[in-house]
Each structure stands twice: as structure tokens, then as C-alpha cells.
Amino acid sequence: MAEPIVMPSFGMYTAEGILVGWLQPSGVRVAAGDPILLIETEKATQEVVAPADGILHQAARIGERLTEQEVVGFILADGEVPPLFEGELVTATGQPFAPRRAASRGQPAAEKALPERPPGGVIATPAARKLARTANIDLTRLTGSGPGGRIVEADVEAAIHSAAAPGAAPARGWSPLIPATISPEAQAFLATFPEPAAKPPSPAADDIAGWARAHAGNEAEVRQLNADIEARYKPQLVQTHVGGVPVLDIRPQSWSESRRVLVYVHGGGYVLHSAASSLISSVPVADDTGLRVCAVDYTCAPAAGYREIVSQVANVVTALRAAGHDWADIALFGDSAGAAIACAAILKLRDEGQGLPAALVLWSPWADIAEVGDSYATLRDADLVFRYEQHLKSAALAYAPATEHRHPWVSPVYADYRTGFPPTLIQGGTKEIFLSNCVRLYQALDTAGQTAKLDLYEGMPHVFQAFTPDLPESKLARQKMKAFLDRYLSGGH
């Protein structure tokens, strides 16, 4: 019988905690007493251990606020199916799981009465104060979301993200070069970008709790963007599992019964985002192409390394084949880090002798994970999204050790494509440090005799298609993507 994993008692004056990280992936065998997750309150970060021997099943997502005695997962016996909570249909962006039952007879844990915030001064957790000092955030200007009005670390992170968000006042001295050769809409949009160097640096590669907090903060930051996309396009979103891997099954309003499916692998530097927080990429594509999109909710680094992440994506494709989809029915699509993962998953499937999908579409692929390539240097100060040393280096090391950065699953530019690869469309912009990644990957495919198309866009930043679906450049890119998929998928035009 499934043994529930419940939230522990947080102690006096603390009503809730935040799940900042799973220490073991879903599906692994754990022993009673093994640390399996991290919970952060305004006072401390604490481990929760497995209540029994068995197979771990996660039912709560990183970044969720949880109360005492709330069920966050289960320990299962071999072959046991986890209990299902109500409402697998996703109806609210960022809430892919229905509210979980508490451990006691399925009732929510009682909310603790908290003391009123004393008058005067600033009440903040030590972690919040430390982050505020580092980021030069004035705590007196913040409203605390923690118990008793305390300012918690998430409040400071929100202030940092707000200051760096598109539309915020640019940093002093920052004036991005905006070419006159792009659409007026794109010119106006690019003018809103803040200085990338002003964004906080990424956590250290091995800082699991730090990455978990960054992941939670990022999910919160983009939640409204994704909610707007969901409200506009009104897709059917169903959280499910394919091949034992969590996926978000996306079906556009125009979808009609078909065997064709597009497997989507989200970006986020291997360490951020989720299927639910990447609707800004997947949903407009589903709507434009009319395809069912199977968005893989892979385990982000550093909780998982590149071999496990690549295998998760490959397992989804294998399961689709087992469910009756022909190779001609399946295409893959990835953006940024997700593009590299998609490439690697196809290489794995090919080298195992399973076969090849019908097509692959890549947006701004992180095809060489190291800072290697001409545009890493020539476009270092022109890139509107990030700086390698400040934002990407530690993410790369969280995904794979430096000694393996030329492994084809990590940096697909170094793969041998002579033994086969699906027709590939590579899209990118001329204002991103990954421009050389696009060019080098195209050349690797083309010189190996594979079908490849390099589709570059003047003045566009990294993964511009996802920033706003209404730019003329974004619409054109998706139109070309649709034509490419229609050409190579079964039943195409």
C-alpha cells in the first residue's frame, strides 16, 4: 500500500514551507530514512526523509508552498500505481496538480494562528536580508509574504526580477543597439530589454538549494506570461505520464484526431523552467501547426545530470512508439538548452538502433555548452538576454562536468551525423551569443549529408519566438516551422 510522504511540523509561528528541491528523482528506490526533499521556512532549510522502503513518487513541484501534514508524494511497492488526486486536467497555469490532501483523513491541515506583526522596523528572514544586501534591495520598500508579514527570500527575489523584467527602466548607461532593419514592432520590443549584466548571477553548479530557489523564483516570474498565453489560445492541457516521465499534453483548439505528435523539450539552461512555465513557446506552436504537443517535464539539473535528462526525453519517444505512433508520426522541437537535449535524445535513439523521428526543429540551440565559437566573443556585449560567465557557466557545470563538455549528448556540434539524422530546421537570431552554435550545428549536419535548413533572423535575440508571439518575425518563424513539419511528418501537405 502506498505510504504517503507528509510535510513535517514547522514549529511555532511557522505555518508553511516551500519545497526547494527533490534530492532523489521520481521512480528511484529509496530506503526508510534516506533524505528525499528539502523544505525551506523563514527560519531554516530542513530535510524530509523517506518514511519507508520503496519507490519514490513525487506529487509536489519545486516552488510550491506547503502546509504541515500535507501529502507531497508517496513511497510505492514494486509495480504499485500511485494514488491519483482529482483534476488531471490543467485549468490554471502553474497549477498542474490539484490541491493535495493532508495526511489526516484527506482534510487540509489546519492553518496556524500567527502573532501580529509588531509595529515598526523590518521583519525579514536571515536569508532574505543576506540576498537583499547582495542585490542592493531596500527591504523597507517590500511587503512581506511570509507568516506575520515577514519578508522572505522569495519577496527579495521577486523584487530583483521585477527590476530586471522587460519593461522596467533600463540600467543607467545601458542602451541596446536597435537595428533599423527589423520590424517597427521588434524595434519597440527590443528597447524594453534591461541590461543583462544587471541580472543576478546564477548559483554555484553544486548549490542544489540555490538552484531550487532560482527555479521557484523563475516559475513565479513567468507565471502570468503563461497564464496570458493559456487564456488567449485556450488549449487543452493535461498533466500525465508517458514512458514513466511527466509530460504536459497540449492540444490546440483546432486539433482533430491524428497520429502526428510534436515532442517539445523546454529550455532554461538545463536548470530552469518546466513544461507548465514554457507555454509561451509550446502553445503558439501547437496553435499554428494544429499538432498535439507532448511537452516533456524532465528533471532539471543539478537534481539530474545530462545522461538522465536525455534518457527521460528518449523514453517519451520510445513510449509513443510503443503506443502505436510510427516514426513518421513523430517530430521533436526544442529551444535553447532544450534544443540540445532534443538533439541528444535523437542521437541516443539512433545509436540504440531504435530509429529516427520524422523531423527536428531547433530554436537557438545551445549546441556547444562551453564558451566556444566566434559569436560568444563577437556578440558578448550585444546579447540582450544573458552573459556566459555570469549566467550560463555554472548552469553548464550543473548539467555536465567540464571533462564531458564535448560529449555529443552535451554539445551536439561534436556528434557524428554521417550514420543518420532527421531533417532539421535551425532558427536563430543575429543578436545572440548562440549564433555560432546555430551555424556550427548546421555545418555539422550539412557536411555529413543530412537535410538541414539554417533560418536566421536579422536583429533577433535568443529564442525571440517565445518572447512575444505577435512580432512579425515570430509569426514568420512559426510559419516556416509549420511548413517544415508539414513537409516531413506523415499526412503532411
> Is 407 in the active site?
no
Contact 297, 341 (CB under 8 A): no
- Paired sense of beta strands 330-335 and 261-265, if any: parallel
CA quadruple 218, 221, 225, 227: dihedral positive or negative?
A: positive
For residue 171, count CB atoms less than 10 angstroms from its CB and return exposed for 0-12, middle for 13-18, buried for 19 or more: middle
For residue 254, indicate whether it is catalytic. no
In 10 A of CB 374, how many CB atoms? 12
Bridge partners, residue 334, by sequence: 265, 362
80 counts as catalytic? no
CA distances from 455 to 203, 246, 428 (A): 33, 31, 7
Which residues, 6 or more positions from 263, have their beta carbon under 8 angstroms from its beta carbon?
293, 294, 296, 313, 316, 317, 320, 330, 331, 332, 333, 342, 357
Contact present, 27 and 4 (Cβ < 8 Å): no
Catalytic residue among 64, 432, 436, 474: 432
- The one catalytic residue in 40, 462, 473, 474 is 462
Annotated catalytic residue within 277, 278, 281, 336: 336
Beta-carbon contacts of 185 under 8 Å, excluding residues fewer than 6 positions away, are 470, 471, 472
Gap between the Cα atoms of 239 and 266, Å rounded = 15
The secondary structure of residue 151, as a DSSP letter, is: B
Three-state SS at 363: strand
Q: Dihedrals φ, ψ of 185, to 5°?
A: -65, -40
Q: How many angstroms separate the first and last alpha carbons of the chain?
A: 51
Residue 36 has phi, psi (to 5 degrees) of -125, -20
- Nearest to residue 42, comparing CAs of 132, 151, 120? 151
Q: Tell me, what amino acid is at 318? A: T
| Catalytic sites, residue numbers | 336, 432, 462
